Amino acid sequence: MPDLPPDFSSRQARADFVDRRLAQLYPETPVPLDHRDPYTLLVAVLLSAQCTDKRVNLVTPELWARADTPERMAQVPVAEIQRIIRPCGLSPQKAKAIAGLSRLLVERHGGAVPRTFEELEALPGVGHKTASVVMAQAFGVPAFPVDTHIHRLAQRWKLTSGRSVEQTEADLKRLFPEEHWNQLHLRIIFYGREHCTAHGCDGTVCELCRTLFPKRKRAVRTRK
């Protein structure tokens, strides 16, 4: 009697398979943003908004050479920060945020990056996703940062309704073991960049999409 195909009819079954397969494909999960410590990670994540990690990594060596601590960065004119980070886009807002958060770290936190979501999200330019990355990758606190890659793939794999990034984060946290979150969010990003890209896969092309939905014929429209 031939083996029956796996049953991926439930969200949990699909999530379990995604978890297992991505762990096989990406046993190592290096943080894609070059950094030295929690502060430089925080700044690099802020710079990565609407910008590729590759471009951020090209820009930050000059920035770190100028200032790689909150104390030093707080002394750098905003115009100089903006000049250095211009290739990352949104440079006026990002430069102002980097200068502002650096001053606050010195004034309120003794120059250290705080270790709570509330304190991180109170810093200029730091939203929930940025705070989640820092908490996960700098401090090892379980978090599930949802960027555009994860939001798109979670919809293609029917792990979420995709109504909002917040909904996607909540759905993924329910589906996956907490102890997997920090590595898994990076694994999904790696897979999305390599195989399930915005233009290279429409929900019918890559290995995971074809495995989970072998009968899918139409492209999947995802919410942003």
Catalytic residues: 129, 147
DSSP state of 77: -
Compute and round to an integer the Cα radius of gyration of the chain.
19
Token duo for residue 18: 């995604």
C-alpha to C-alpha distance for 49 and 85, rounded to whole angstroms: 12
With the C-alpha atoms ordered 176, 182, 183, 188, is the resulting torsion angle positive or negative?
A: positive
Answer yes or no: are the C-beta atoms of 59 and 85 closer than 8 Å.
yes
Instruction: Give the count of beta carbons closer than 10 Å to the beta carbon of residue 163.
Output: 11
The residue assigned the tokens 């309704």 is: 161
The residue assigned the tokens 């991926």 is: 8
Answer yes or no: are the C-beta atoms of 87 and 55 closer than 8 Å.
yes
Answer yes or no: are the C-beta atoms of 209 and 201 closer than 8 Å.
yes
